[in-house]
Structure 1
């Protein structure tokens, strides 16, 4: 099998070591990736630091056209990339194709936002001391970005870090998840077609134990990390003077009110608890059904979960494939066994595949109730009213997104006011995300926001210039 090179300062490069990439469904090798040496990592960081001022001065049309080029090339190679994602990640082609489509949009959004990237003018003579003065405020990049990306969306979550960095004129060094480096390496290939300055990007598939040196390097003043909470908070603790953006997941809840369309709610909950094999930080994990809605909703959810198509991720009709590894599936199996809950559907494991599972009566202090299961498992619980439901949602140490199925405008605005989460989805599951909207959490779900424009703001700081003696 050919060895896939990595990217150092915009150039395809190989190192002395190699890493095998295997398919979660059957364990076969789907790729071999060259691993950069310490010297090559240093070359990438030094190049990013050296080009930072040139990158910040790049004309907007140059940045925008580079981003638009990547968007077009992703579209042209969408089926190839979808199959690559399925190969390294194991997610069904259904979801892999959707992921590529989202990445196409992310780079297109970034190109559009770049052309709108401009400063603001503010007259200061609203106060006598500001007579004849005007402020021009623009945003400047902090510097090079270290982007540490996860395995569950290996292309799109890389896009969410790389595209905004280029849009604001910041070099970016990508460290992809070791299990899924292939998608990010193709993204490096497409960026190399754009003619961006050398040093503007590098893609370094290094083992996780080598990431701490990258995090500590002062030449990379921004760290954008998506992944587990313990790792994310340790990054923030180890780099207290850096600008750190963390997306750390959650245990997303859906509240179902009696006035909701229960058939719609059940179908959406079933599908989006189990899409990506539940390996999404906004996959439905907790369901709180208000009053009589519980008795009507529960059998509908169980039927919808049992009706999902599971198995071979290469089949077009498959909705739920394997988890990233057998180790991950064994962890979910142990959590379900320890939950104290009654299994109404699923609850079985076959290698790396864990069957879509519905529980009731889980212990309130169990890992299933309190932690992020990151697998195809949900539980349903009855609550007396909306106030109790919202209190249950807020009782978690996480706060990423929540879904509220209701037709009541009053309930919708109460949810927006009271729920301690970064996003409230009315009439749908918490798993809905538009790539152009602000996305992120509170509490242990992290700090900062993704969504192209939001990330562009997060990667930059305001810089004001005051003009004096103007004839205003």
Structure 2
């Protein structure tokens, strides 16, 4: 068990005030969280700068062993971590346990890659007068990394920033979402016990825009890594100057179901329901737009409706619960408004669409125009559209008709068609015969258009947290 109270008490000593942390499912107060001051963030940056000197002096083996130990400790305390995720985010406990499992994998991958970050040998004698030299590249850590993380994966998305930063020898400061600070603090306590140098991983709680501005503007912060909305991401990119930056900004993930997979419709529909409604659709790559070939549309929609209506709303601590309260009342009202707008403009409400205590009934809409907000924006709620298309060409055009470009999925048995989608979809990741909600923690993960800038995925994130240095040795001198 890793207690967060000592860490929070230390933050509160110098904080401006506190704010109430609320349980999203019950809307009851959990505890008070320190509203840290700008001065606390500045002090954390200076502490992180000193910790960086210790981090970069560690061997890659030592950094790897610390990450391995942290992964082991998270695994040994998975029920405790899952309980914390469920408490602060309202995520049903079985999905919270899945997030903890992924976090263990994320840290293990970081431990492996910490030993593998290698440069290359360069043949300078390939150039005129380049002979007599040995040349190579190395990667060096950059310093203090500032991480701003969202509420929906309060542990694993923190690990996706912390793991790579520590693996290469940086220090990192995490500004977690105001609604979900506890998981990141609990992870900091794990790293402390795992032997990480003091202040190499710090958590500062409080107002995101205010504290994030300190991170962005401070000259001793070398990189900003952010997961959140496109609006905030674009603002950050306009303000970071010459700092390195990685932005993961969401999606309205599209899926195409081809007529060639008719014998698999029931299985695909069942999987798509999970992809659409897990954690109330509050997932960056939640399956939001489904395009189905007209020849199998009615059959697919019948299966999809059946599985959707079998989902159970209830206490997120119940292992049988599928859906629970959404993150807050503002989000609930926004999603319900978007549903009603779609219905008013001619969309067909297949099922759901109503408020359900502090949540929303899992909702299917059909015949939805691309201009409707439930289609062209990221809903971040339990809503999915299912539209009929005449052919693959129409599906590809509709899937690309968006400002986002993170993940997309295609189910087809036609190999040429699979390649057409793989090359034609304007997204960072194309999943053939898989849902767009698929993500493995070591794969490259980055978006096009308004979905992001730069790449996550352990090895790929590490490359964005280092400087590459070229070294030439003239042995004929």
TM-score tier (shorter): over 0.9
Partners of 1:251 and 1:226 lie apart in 2 by 15
Matched, 1:280 2:283: yes
| Deviation (angstroms), 1:32 | 3.1
Check conservation: 2:251, 2:285, Cα contact below 8 A: yes
Residue 76 of structure 1 is matched in structure 2 by: 76
Partners of 2:453 and 2:241 lie apart in 1 by 13
Check conservation: 2:253, 2:436, Cα contact below 8 A: yes
Residue 454 of structure 1 is matched in structure 2 by: 460
Three-state SS of the structure 1 residue aligned to 2:147 is strand
When structure 1 is superposed on structure 2, of 226-235 and 37-46 the one drifting more is 37-46
Residue 158 of structure 1 is matched in structure 2 by: 158
More helix by share: 2
| Deviation (angstroms), 1:157 | 0.2
* Residue of 340, 343, 354 corresponding to 2:349: 343
Three-state SS of the structure 2 residue aligned to 1:398 is coil
Residue 418 of structure 2 is matched in structure 1 by: 412
| Deviation (angstroms), 1:398 | 0.2
Kindly provide the CA deviation profile for residues 106-137 of structure 1, in whole angstroms up to 9, marking residues without a partner as x. Answer: 11110011111223222322334221222111
* Residue of 266, 270, 275 corresponding to 2:269: 266
Give runs of aligned pairs for residues 48-59 of structure 1, distance below 5 A: 48-59=48-59
Check conservation: 1:3, 1:34, Cα contact below 8 A: no
Three-state SS of the structure 2 residue aligned to 1:116 is coil
Three-state SS of the structure 2 residue aligned to 1:439 is coil
| Deviation (angstroms), 1:7 | 7.6
When structure 1 is superposed on structure 2, of 196-205 and 82-91 the one drifting more is 196-205
Check conservation: 1:271, 1:308, Cα contact below 8 A: no
Residue 107 of structure 2 is matched in structure 1 by: 107
Distance 1:470-1:300 versus aligned 2 partners, 3 A rule:
farther
| Deviation (angstroms), 1:5 | 4.3
Check conservation: 2:42, 2:214, Cα contact below 8 A: no
Residue 329 of structure 2 is matched in structure 1 by: 326
Partners of 2:439 and 2:447 lie apart in 1 by 13
Residue 60 of structure 1 is matched in structure 2 by: 60
Partners of 1:415 and 1:6 lie apart in 2 by 49
Residue 208 of structure 1 is matched in structure 2 by: 208
What is the number of residues matched between the two proteins? Answer: 468
* Residue of 377, 383, 389 corresponding to 1:371: 377
Residue 14 of structure 2 is matched in structure 1 by: 15
Partners of 1:248 and 1:344 lie apart in 2 by 29
| Deviation (angstroms), 1:13 | 7.0
State the TM-score, normalized to the length of structure 1.
Answer: 0.95
Residue 308 of structure 2 is matched in structure 1 by: 305
Matched, 1:389 2:395: yes
Partners of 1:61 and 1:111 lie apart in 2 by 9
Residue 228 of structure 2 is matched in structure 1 by: 227
| Deviation (angstroms), 1:289 | 0.7
* Residue of 431, 436, 443 corresponding to 1:430: 436
Residue 292 of structure 1 is matched in structure 2 by: 295
Residue 421 of structure 1 is matched in structure 2 by: 427
Residue 469 of structure 1 is matched in structure 2 by: 475
Check conservation: 2:8, 2:33, Cα contact below 8 A: no
When structure 1 is superposed on structure 2, of 385-394 and 329-338 the one drifting more is 385-394
Three-state SS of the structure 1 residue aligned to 2:138 is strand
Partners of 2:476 and 2:68 lie apart in 1 by 39
Three-state SS of the structure 2 residue aligned to 1:199 is coil
- In structure 2, the gaps of 5 or more residues are none
Check conservation: 2:52, 2:171, Cα contact below 8 A: yes
Give runs of aligned pairs for residues 85-164 of structure 1, distance below 5 A: 85-164=85-164
| Deviation (angstroms), 1:301 | 0.9
Partners of 1:6 and 1:221 lie apart in 2 by 25
Residue 191 of structure 1 is matched in structure 2 by: 191
Partners of 1:5 and 1:452 lie apart in 2 by 30
Residue 318 of structure 2 is matched in structure 1 by: 315
Check conservation: 1:329, 1:351, Cα contact below 8 A: no
Distance 1:118-1:7 versus aligned 2 partners, 3 A rule:
farther
Kindly provide the CA deviation profile for residues 233-280 of structure 1, in whole angstroms up to 9, marking residues without a partner as x. Answer: 111111132211100001000000011221121111111110010000
When structure 1 is superposed on structure 2, of 48-57 and 205-214 the one drifting more is 48-57
Distance 1:220-1:190 versus aligned 2 partners, 3 A rule:
same
| Deviation (angstroms), 1:35 | 3.6
Partners of 1:457 and 1:306 lie apart in 2 by 44
- In structure 1, the gaps of 5 or more residues are none
| Deviation (angstroms), 1:408 | 2.3
